[in-house]
Amino acid sequence: MDKLKGFLEYERQAAPAQPAGERIAHWNEFHLPLDDEVLRTQAARCMDCGTPFCHTGTLLAGAASGCPIHNLIPEWNDLVYHGLWRQALERLLITNNFPEFTGRVCPAPCEGACVLGINAAPVTIKEIEYAIAERGFAEGWLKPYQPAVRTGRRVAVVGSGPAGLACADQLNRAGHTVVVFERADRAGGLLMYGIPNMKLDKKVVQRRIDLMSASGITFITSTEVGRGYPAEKLLREFDAIVLCGGARQPRDLSVEGRQLRGIYFAMEFLTEATRSLLETGCADPGPESPLSAHGKDVVVIGGGDTGTDCVATALRQGCRSVVQFEILERPPDVRQPDNPWPEWPRVYRLDYGHEEAVARFGSDPRQYATTAKRFEGDASGNVQAVHTVRVVWKAGASNGGRPTPHESPGTEQVWPAQLVLLAMGFTGPEVSLLDELGIERDARSNVKTPLRSYRTNVNGVFAAGDMRRGQSLVVWAIHEGRAAARECDMYLRGYTDLP
């Protein structure tokens, strides 16, 4: 095998997946692992660039370019190529607390910035990261970490999503006693209840929670700080607090008929499906539940990843039909001149849920440049249809030349729907706890912190993740949690050796 010219000699080979028509019959992960020899070949495609853009981790044109946690990708690619899996894991863990999560659910901005991607298919970075992490668990290399000395300082982390977990893991490594508060009945936040099992098996999340618990981190679930647990008590009992509650306030759609039964936010639907799976082994809560898609015409409003998860879940629950509305225009099939490398490539893709809809119904469920005008109900107040209109995007002088959607006359349509899922993103964090603590917010309603800082206006209280930066990727949340832990450690000890 030639590593020096591997990027010229070997083609990209992604991990195979179970056929779309078969996998909608179950709730398990459906990507099949690559064998070691194929992984070595894929690692050999890494060019070992002098300037590896894959781990730059910056924002270009509003999207991530390169790895936000600055994974040392060429280094662990080379170690995998040489069969040095344990050393590859050690190098990966320098920057990433949870490669088993990012190797499954990250959209891989590292691959979008891969230098090889200028004129060829990028390196399969995500597949290799996943393989390193799973090898670490299989070989028993990932063990509980008990710091040699405890500092005697207690830190409360509010929220157990990816930012909270990363923050807790780092602060525990610094020797602090960490307690994580989670209002749901299980720890994991978005990882547990916001991402369907077929993308991220809940056993994988629980495996990491168990490892952190064995490392000395305490998880208190079914406890909402600010309600069941007074915020004042938190301030009194802990030396520092890190708020990692996420941006859980969903964006609503204020149109006629919104009050009808059968219209839900996407997270309500996804959470109920996962809760049913964990309790009964099936992610369909049953025909008696209004949150079941079984036998229904399902309309998903919103074209992002959460909307795709709704499509995939509705298919597995046995929906009669499913359509997904996206207000933006259909992306081009190839990069356009205004979207150069190393920006994230804004191109048309069939995500897993869309592939499954094609297999089930014969076509991509997405309707582009389409917006909902009103909901129609029956005599009993149940939603029965969604009225839509197509839009065209035009630049206007009133908003600095930015394109805005304009309705296209004569394009009205009516879509049958007994279940409507609103997946239009989130507007910011929930405010009750922030109000109780007296935390200042910025213009977008997120927790306000100084530039490149995670300190709030309240002494000893920090914030990280979506609660601070707004809705974003799991990998950005891990970055935020690590950075907040470092600043919190500096506050507690006057110095820090956390990376």
68: amino acid identity, one letter: P
- Work out how many domains the chain is built from and give that number: 3
Average pLDDT over residues 448-456: 97
Is 225 in the same domain as 268? Answer: no
Is 124 in the same domain as 21? Answer: yes
227-267 per-position pLDDT tens digit: 889 999 999 999 999 999 999 999 999 999 999 999 999 99
Is 47 in the same domain as 86? Answer: yes
**pLDDT, position 1:** 59
Task: Measure CA 80 to chain center.
Answer: 26
What is the rounded CA–CA span in Å between residue 422 and residue 266? 5
Average pLDDT over residues 475-479: 98
Is 134 in the same domain as 90? Answer: yes
CATH code for the domain of 213: 3.50.50.60
**pLDDT, position 400:** 72
Is 183 in the same domain as 132? Answer: no
pTM: 0.96
The first and second tokens of residue 311, run together, are 């499509």
Task: List CB contacts of 450: < 8 A, sequence separation 6 or more.
Answer: none
Q: SS3 for 158? A: strand
Domain range for 286 is 252-424
In a domain, 402, yes or no: yes
Average pLDDT over residues 343-347: 95
pLDDT exceeds cutoff 80 at 490: yes
Lowest-confidence region among 41-55, 94-108, 294-308:
41-55
Average pLDDT over residues 420-425: 97
Task: List CB contacts of 185: < 8 A, sequence separation 6 or more.
Answer: 221, 222
Residue 284 in contact with residue 317, Cβ under 8 Å? yes
What is the rounded CA–CA span in Å between residue 474 and residue 107? 9
What is the rounded CA–CA span in Å between residue 461 and residue 454? 9
Tell me which residue has tokens 């991509």.
364
Average pLDDT over residues 58-73: 95
